[in-house]
Amino acid sequence: MTALSAEQPRDIHARDRAFMVARHLEARGITDPDVLTAMGKVPREAFVSEPLSEFAYEDSPLPIEAGQTISQPYIVARMVELAEVKPGDKVLEVGAGSGYAAAVMSRIAAHVYAIERHEELATQARAREKRLGYDNLEIIHADGTKGLPEHAPFDAIVVSAGGPKVPEALKRQLAVDGRLVIPVGLGSHQTLLLVRRVDAETFEEEDHGAVTFVPLIGEEGWEGPDKAKAATNVDAATSGFANGLLIPSQRAKTVRTNLSHLIADAAEPFGDLDELASLAERFADKRVVLLGEATHGTAQFYDARARITEMLVKKHGFNIVAVEADWPDASVCNAFVRGLPRPEVPADPFSRFPTWMWRNGQVAAFLTRLKAINEQIGDPDRQAGFYGLDVYSLGASIEAVLLYLDRVDPEAAQVARQRYGCLAPWRAEPARYGHMAMSRGYAVCEKPVTDALLDLLHNRLGYLAKDGDAFFDAEQNARIVTAAEQYYRIMYYGNAQSWNLRDQHMFDTLERVLANRGSDSKAIVWAHNSHIGDAEFTDMGQVRGELNIGQLARARFGDDCALIGFGTDRGTVAAASNWDEPMEIKRVRPARNDSYEGRSRDAGLDAFFLETGPDQKTSVRDALAEPLLERAIGVIYRPETELLSHYFQAELSRQFDAWIWFTETDAVAARPVAHPHGPDETYPFGL
């Protein structure tokens, strides 16, 4: 294979476009092959600013210059499909913006004219189309509501802004059997209309559902920006991202206000964490209780999960705390809370980014209390262990497997060293292995690490006889190495595969721990809401094709599991601005009005427990199944792009069995950088 020349650079977004077409378009009902082909060709990243290019193939509108937006890919495809744009057509677009939709139509039609009222945008779009070589497309700075009578008639007209009515001038510029697609209406009450010209004086209209677009300004649109904003009731917080957002149903402000009242009536307020634990005790009969968090750096979420966990361990026989952390690091904590010898690996647990997620004051205090509870329980089989579910500990897991084999089977240890040697160059930076594997086109280390695991399993009986608990730990570490090799190899494909592999691994680990701790074992899981809430009822599953632990737990345990989510409106959070950068204490923006957090805030209760599962009233569950936005802050928080970076759509009562709310929250107690393992009195991780 020859290297690509400078004139033919590798298209690094080709896979992203293919995934967008398959997941965001075909999977949601776009069938026109010309539209799908065109959407797969046009580089959307070329139509947004560089900082937003990483979001180019998310199904979201994105901000551009002049306070305008580029529409979400689905609505672009939907409008072009409704307009029945075909090869040979002459097409007019009103509201060109960045030029993206016009570029898509130019890959189908014979000629496209696109009008943009902002001269800045028209100039930029014109230069962009020239750079891309789209020579059958003209960008014109003018009042789009008047159309282009000198170039009429048009086979199709697409209007990418919402007007008070269908402009008469545009209707008259349609050819017979021509199609006009336009959003019409006020604010959140816009409707996407398809107008078809039957003959010289006859037009037919079809309603294709609710949408939200920025206003259409011009002689036959709204009179000007100020009047348009007042008439359409688009508030400043949302108007910059509204254009081209397809909404699932009409949701007027009165409906959203009613939801807040409903939450206030159905919620059970609590004044302290002991009251919260009593409220959560209704789920104590479950085999698995999954406790989420809306961020990875909020003290109240950790403290609330800790108090609920302590109640379940002390009073109801739960003996597993399984967390979104690496197995070797969590093993150090497991030894601490159960009074076991400290593992040799790792020497300094939770020293990998993000250190604050588990190396914080809230976790340290919880582990100390859990150790005391275990000492009261006494029976080792009933004591609660602390286990990591995650897949990231490639280097530490290799080291742990080799240390185990050195003790029980030195000859096997030598073979394993040779096999794991394949990964040696990348143990410090495993993501580099994925980049290498992708560039070479094959999984160079897949067979060696799989063979190492198979050898370990083949010798299971002999190893178990020597030390069953130690074998289980070694087996799990060998499984992690196998899963990590695959994870880092596929993470560059930019789709749901790496997410699904990670969550499947975490769920499989949970099942293995349950089996290892006995038939009466019961588990509490700590992980982010995005892992705990059932992905089938969010756009993670519905749009991106992602599964998660909550979804897998419901499929496996049915009514014997409970999924509990957490939310907050505002406060502070420990997070970084980019991966592998220092922790900062960041201010969390107040939640958007069109989110479940916004509706929870407006319920007017400082803290509450809201049951959303089958035991809740049907009327409440139905109202909480209305698709709204939900916020997710991980170890990275970017307030400046919060809507794009941290919000997704969800159906709360189907996603969770309960929702725990704190209006204002604080960052966890943690240091901004990693530090050495502390003295013995600060064991397990030197806080």
Specify which residues 212 forms β-bridges with.
Answer: 245
Domain ranges of the chain: 14-250
Catalytic residues: 71
pLDDT for position 379: 95
Digit-coded pLDDT (tens) for 222-271: 876 555 444 444 433 333 334 444 433 333 333 345 899 999 999 999 99
Helix/strand/coil for 135: coil
Provide CB contacts within 8 A for 47, sequence distance 6+: 56, 64, 70, 98, 99, 100, 103, 128
Using CA atoms, how far apart are residues 583 and 576, in angstroms rounded to an integer?
5
Using CA atoms, how far apart are residues 7 and 60, in angstroms rounded to an integer?
31
**DSSP type of residue 274:** H
Percent of the chain with pLDDT over 70: 85
Q: Tokens in use for 406?
A: 């050195």
pLDDT for position 335: 96
474 to each of 204, 348, 392, 467, 468, how far by Cα in Å?
70, 19, 16, 11, 10
Using CA atoms, how far apart are residues 232 and 208, in angstroms rounded to an integer?
20
Cβ atoms of 672 and 297 closer than 8 Å: no
pLDDT for position 603: 94
Cβ atoms of 426 and 437 closer than 8 Å: no
- From the number of C-beta atoms within 10 Å of its C-beta (0-12, 13-18, 19+), residue 681 rates as exposed
Q: Tokens in use for 178?
A: 């021509």
**DSSP type of residue 65:** G
The two beta strands, 90-94 and 154-159, are parallel
pLDDT for position 641: 82
Amino acid at 139: I
pLDDT for position 235: 36
Residue 135 backbone phi and psi in degrees, to 5: -90, 0
Nearest residue to 390 via CA among 573, 525, 588: 525
| Chain-centre distance for alpha carbon 271 | 32
The two beta strands, 268-269 and 607-611, are antiparallel
Residue located via tokens 């298209």: 11
178 to each of 35, 96, 97, 195, 427, how far by Cα in Å?
18, 20, 23, 8, 61
**DSSP type of residue 453:** H
Cβ atoms of 359 and 687 closer than 8 Å: yes
What CATH architecture is 14-250? 3-Layer(aba) Sandwich (3.40)
- Global pTM? 0.67
Cβ atoms of 218 and 145 closer than 8 Å: yes
Using CA atoms, how far apart are residues 532 and 297, in angstroms rounded to an integer?
17
Using CA atoms, how far apart are residues 532 and 548, in angstroms rounded to an integer?
7
DSSP 480-520: HHHHHHHHHHHGGG-SHHHHHHHHHHHHHHHHHHHHHT-TT
pLDDT for position 173: 96
Specify which residues 587 forms β-bridges with.
Answer: 572
Nearest residue to 202 via CA among 171, 169, 244: 171
Cβ atoms of 413 and 406 closer than 8 Å: yes
CB atoms within 10 A of CB 6: 6
**Per-residue three-class SS string for 303-350:** HHHHHHHHHHHHHHCCCEEEEEEEHHHHHHHHHHHHCCCCCCCCCCCC
Using CA atoms, how far apart are residues 137 and 79, in angstroms rounded to an integer?
18
Cβ atoms of 348 and 677 closer than 8 Å: yes
Residue 629 φ/ψ region, left for φ over 0, alpha for ψ in the -120 to 50 degree band, beta for the rest: beta
| pLDDT < 70 regions, the chain | 1-10, 186-189, 224-257, 423-444, 461, 463-468, 488-495, 673-687
pLDDT for position 39: 96
Q: Where are the alpha helices (DSSP H) in 248-298?
A: 253-266, 273-280
Residue located via tokens 């006494």: 378
pLDDT for position 437: 55
Nearest residue to 654 via CA among 597, 595, 607, 614: 614
CB atoms within 10 A of CB 320: 20
Cβ atoms of 188 and 233 closer than 8 Å: yes
pLDDT for position 64: 87
The two beta strands, 561-575 and 288-291, are parallel
Q: Return the ∠ at Cα 117 (arms to 115 and 119), rounded to 5°.
A: 100
> b/e string for 47-85 if b means 16 or more Cβ within 10 A?
bbeeebbeebbbbbbbbbeeebbbbbbbbbbbbbbbbbb
